[in-house]
């Protein structure tokens, strides 16, 4: 970590690290022992305040940069969708991503009301906060699903090879952030989760 080209230390930084308050500066994150920059930003630290920044570097998934996360309450988790399904958009150039939850009473998928419009233009989505536990006593967790709606047809898209219009994803952390990585090959979507 560097601030105005001065090395502050390795991430995570010691809470005792201090910089001049009220003066604009540049915060940079590099891969340890190299000059390969992961992220940078202009900041002005306010007097008597603590600033927190989150950065992710997962080269296997192409994730490199600042994470826009927000505080997560008890019994919730924040999801960040990472869109790497490029070849999928050949057949469906404009899609909206809908999040559904399984209703344990009816065993039907129910819309949560959360939609990421024009998902094809999204690289790393803004965080979406969802409840984590369904029944705290039995630790029954919510089962979430994602469906894509083709904006040209208005229909939810069916995926090979199972010929269904949804895929499930797990939330692995409570009160934390979880990256849901979506990749595709030959039109088949694969979902992987990463807990932060």
With beta carbons less than 8 A apart as the criterion, state whether 146 and 85 touch. Answer: no
- Mark whether 80 and 39 lie in a shared domain: no
Residue 99's pLDDT is 93
Cis ω on the peptide bond leading into residue 32 (within 30° of 0)?
A: no
What three-state secondary structure class fits 171? coil
Residue 115's pLDDT is 94
- Mark whether 87 and 157 lie in a shared domain: yes
Classify residue 60: in a domain, yes or no.
no
CA separation for the pair 31, 176 (Å, rounded): 24
CA separation for the pair 32, 49 (Å, rounded): 27
Residue 13's pLDDT is 66
- Mark whether 142 and 179 lie in a shared domain: yes
Which range marks the domain in which residue 85 is found?
76-195
- Mark whether 165 and 96 lie in a shared domain: yes
- Mark whether 29 and 120 lie in a shared domain: no
Backbone angles phi, psi at 2, to 5 degrees: -130, 145
Please count the structural domains in the chain: 2
Tell me the average confidence (pLDDT) per consecutive run of 10 residues in the chain, 196 residues long: 82 68 87 87 84 77 70 75 79 90 86 91 80 65 87 89 81 68 73 70
- Mark whether 84 and 48 lie in a shared domain: no
- Mark whether 88 and 34 lie in a shared domain: no
DSSP labels, 20-48: -TTSEEEEEEE-TTS--EEEEEEEEPPTT
- Mark whether 89 and 179 lie in a shared domain: yes
Classify residue 96: in a domain, yes or no.
yes
Residue 56's pLDDT is 78
CA separation for the pair 127, 135 (Å, rounded): 24
């Amino acid at each position: 970590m560097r601030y105005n080209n001065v090395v502050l230390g390795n991430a995570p930084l010691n809470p005792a690290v201090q910089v001049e308050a009220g003066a604009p500066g540049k915060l940079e994150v590099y891969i340890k022992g190299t000059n390969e920059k992961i992220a940078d930003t202009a900041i002005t630290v306010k007097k008597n305040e603590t600033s927190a920044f989150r950065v992710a570097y997962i080269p296997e998934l192409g994730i490199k940069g600042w994470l826009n996360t927000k505080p997560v309450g008890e019994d919730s988790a924040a999801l960040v969708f990472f869109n790497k399904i490029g070849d999928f958009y050949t057949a469906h150039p404009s899609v909206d991503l809908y999040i559904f939850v399984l209703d344990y009473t009816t065993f039907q998928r129910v819309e949560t009301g959360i939609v990421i419009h024009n998902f094809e233009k999204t690289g790393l989505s803004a965080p979406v906060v969802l409840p984590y536990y369904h029944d705290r006593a039995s630790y029954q967790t919510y089962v979430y699903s994602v469906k894509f709606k083709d904006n040209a047809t208005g229909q939810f898209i069916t995926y090979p090879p199972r010929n269904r219009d949804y895929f499930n994803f797990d939330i692995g952390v409570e009160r934390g952030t979880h990256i849901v990585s979506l990749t595709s090959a030959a039109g088949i979507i694969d979902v992987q989760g990463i807990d932060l």
